[in-house]
Amino acid sequence: MDLKLDAEDLNTCVSCGLCLPHCPTFRVTGEEAHSPRGRIALMRQVHHHNAPVTDEVLDAFSSCVQCRGCEPACPSGVPFGRLIERTRETLADERIMTSVWQRVALKSLAWPALIRFGSLLLAFAQRLRLVPRRLGVPAQLPIRRAPLVASGRDVYLFTGCVMDAWQRDTHLAAQRVIEAAGFGVTPTGNLAPCCGALHLHSGLARDTKRLAARMIAKLDDQPILVDSAGCGAAMKEYGGLLRTDEARAFSSRVYDIQEWLAQYVERLPRIEPLALRVAVQDPCHLRHVQRVHNATRTVLQPFVKELVELDDDGLCCGAGGAYSVLQPQMADKIRRRKLASIELAAPDIVASANPGCSMHLASGGVETLHPLEIVDRALREA
Ligand code: SF4
Ligand code: SF4
């Protein structure tokens, strides 16, 4: 089967295996088919030798978290993210992958009113104890959400889809911190309802391109700050996805909110730090894809008594967008390693800059906040 892969991308892998210890699924199972090298070998078999897409091959591709921890570890620069995205896209086009219910659920993300309504139903169901905790939905979804109000036009704050419905408080805190640094903020709201990251991971690249083109047309010249690492990573890659000058110019205006604030942290008031020991969990799409995870330390350092690092070298937590819903057993096994690292660090709280990681860790019993929620708390308490 023609997986529509770039031959050069596929040939770059020299099968050295240096990426294996950085792959969360290989760490869990120890199986070659669950490693980057094994997955690339299977792509070659299917693409070059027309090998059949058996259940085992499909499992190898669908069990990948798309964390891209293998990319910075690879001395040959294999673009594994692009390989797995294209593979999944071809398999989704052939209807071998991505079920109808997944497609319907993903389509709904472009409709904010539908998400708000669904979230409200879920919030009521939670209060009637009808939502199992293992689903990873945040405890006590809000029935009412405080409005996000524009305070100026210096920067956009991208608010997105599910995060805005479930974690509006993170956006509110992020906006207050950016305002405290002296900038006027325009929350994007209905201007840009969804970034399309989850669609891309599921092989629905056409949907992502549609959402990207719509967002590019709506958001004019200001910097676009993103407080979800997964969304920010996807938006920074619109240039490569759409391959237009307009998309490339758009992507160059996208910043993770901490990456952007790190340049202006001196503008925030000097205050007594919070008496907290905070462990930093680097979301994969901040560390391996955007590669701006050090900004989390720069932004948090002045506002907390102690910052501690986890001992796992940025290994994935298993959240992976919708991965924890689609592959719950593997996601749980991957999370156990992260929970052990957190337990060893013994923090009061964990800072995580990605909503999916926060929810996945919270459903494992860990208290998490976005780094800017911690800064906001420090500023408010002062
Ligand atoms: S993206 Fe993550 S899970 Fe997939 S092969 Fe690479 S390291 Fe392993
Ligand atoms: S992906 Fe990179 S690190 Fe992994 S086996 Fe291939 S060349 Fe080696």
DSSP string covering 11-37, please? HT-----TTGGG-HHHHHH--GGGSHH
Residue 122: predicted pLDDT: 86
Q: For ligand 2, atom 2, name the residue with the nearest CA.
A: 74
Whether residue 16 has its Cβ less than 6 Å from ligand 2: yes
Residue 134: predicted pLDDT: 66
The DSSP-derived string for 348-364 is SEEEES-HHHHHHHHTT
Collect the ranges in the chain with pLDDT lower than 50.
Answer: none
Compute the distance from residue 8 Cα to the ligand 1 centre, in Å: 19
Residue 130: predicted pLDDT: 81
pTM of the prediction?
Answer: 0.94
Query: Best of 66, 71, 78, 330 to mutate for ligand 1, by most ligand atoms within 8 A of CB?
Result: 66
Compute the distance from residue 59 Cα to the ligand 2 centre, in Å: 20
Atom of ligand 1 nearest to the CA of 284: 2
Whether residue 18 has its Cβ less than 6 Å from ligand 2: yes
Nearest Cα neighbor of 220 from 281, 300, 297, 153 is: 153
Residue 137: predicted pLDDT: 75
Atom of ligand 2 nearest to the CA of 73: 3
Dist. CA 151–CA 290, nearest whole Å: 28
Residue 113: predicted pLDDT: 86
Residue 141: predicted pLDDT: 84
Compute the distance from residue 380 Cα to the ligand 2 centre, in Å: 47
